[in-house]
Amino acid sequence: MDFTEHQTRSRDLPKQPMHILHVVGARPNFIKAAPVLRALAAYPVRQTLVHTGQHFDAGMSDVFFEELDLPRPNVNLGVGSGSHAVQTGRIMEQLEPVLLEQKPDRVLVYGDINSTLAAALVSAKLNLPVAHVEAGLRSGDRGMPEEINRILTDQLADLLFTPSADADANLRREGIPAGRIRRVGNVMIDTLVRLLPRAAERWPRLQEEHALQRYALVTLHRPSNVDDPQALGTLLAALGRVGRDLPLLFPVHPRTRKRLAENGLTLPPGLRLLDPQGYLDFLALQCHAAVVITDSGGIQEETTYLRVPCLTLRENTERPVTVTVGTNLLIGRDLDRLQGEVDRILSGQGKRGRRPPLWDGHAAERIAAILMDGEN
């Protein structure tokens, strides 16, 4: 066969659909990946979902797959817990043969957990194109493991999907070429918008079950807040003071529950411990809370969209748009300010905020269109 004949026959062969492999490992990843998987399903594309098993607790993982209508993972690496180095190393070791077997055209990674960086590293070393969903977020605090994951993942990815203008600016400042940056909006909000009606259906049961009227919703899991017994005890005492005037619902993260038990810490009156909540129940509780007190990044975003006041128990945030535009206030360790801000909110003087641009429920559709541009 001469070269011309070979070219002709090659053109006649049916084109194989693009193969996109998604890597997820924890609850925030599931929330971000669900709308992207759904949006890509509208195209002739092959999708593979790999769950690293970084979150291995059924209450933190399985229920989210069900409620978000996520397909069951094609591969579950089951890496479980461990130090940052151990967990990242296990993921890399177990993910490499999967990528070698699957040979995807592109790997999608989400957020800033250890699974995100591990997948980006393995993919880059195998010369597989990497796209980072939720790129460009920076807290400026390299003492946070997530900050290291964010910075390194963005350097490895060839396509960076950002949620806001500050993320674009961070990437440009770090030398990322403008041609690799695509501002698409916030995929977490896509999931929230789609599931708000189903969450609303849960509210009457939750209200009756917990006898809810006016209340605050609390989440804590950052090592800086829960790993030091003295810091955690001081924080619980401050929450107890808030709880004198306002019941506090506290769905407890497994990490936090473990620290409470290890250090013999008791909850003050007014602070009601709940098991981890599924996505729909927690969303319903957020919608009706007078205020949310948290150290979670994703909750800062959700409360901004919902226009619910949010008080963040951190000195910094990788999501500054929730402060400059949204309903979020950084409290840090100024626990006297915590009480004062709760009082302001209860008196009707809390921060109103507005929704950032492109937080409209269509970010995943924009991602899918960019990924598939030129493929059809």
Please state, for a pLDDT cut of 70, what percent of the chain lies above it: 94
pLDDT above 70 for 58: no
* 8 Å CB contact between 236 and 335: no
In this prediction, residues 16-41 reach a mean pLDDT of: 96
Q: What is the pLDDT of residue 56?
A: 61
Residue 72 neighbours by CB distance under 10 Å: 10
Structure confidence at residue 8 (pLDDT):
46
Q: What is the pLDDT of residues 177-206, one digit of tens each?
A: 999 999 999 999 999 999 999 999 999 999
Pairing between strand 328-330 and 310-312? Answer: parallel
Please tell me the distance from the alpha carbon of residue 74 to that of residue 129, in angstroms, as a whole number. Answer: 20
Structure tokens at 151: 């910075």
pLDDT digits (tens, 9 = 90+) for 337-374: 999 999 999 999 989 899 999 999 999 999 999 999 96
CA separation (Å) from 138 to 80, 208, 342? 27, 40, 27
Q: For residues 276-299, give the mean pLDDT.
A: 96
Angle between helices 27-40 and 187-209 (to 10 degrees): 120
CA dihedral 146, 257, 82, 225 (to 10 degrees): 30
Tokens at 372, concatenated: 């598939």
Q: In what order do the strands lie in the sheet with 130-133?
A: 75-76, 45-51, 18-24, 106-110, 130-133, 159-162, 181-183
How high is the pLDDT of residue 264? 87
The residues that are catalytic are 221
Distance CA 149, CA 116 (A): 7
What pLDDT is recorded for position 256?
84
Tell me the domains of the chain and their CATH numbers.
3-186+359-372 (3.40.50.2000), 193-346 (3.40.50.2000)
Amino acid at 215: Y
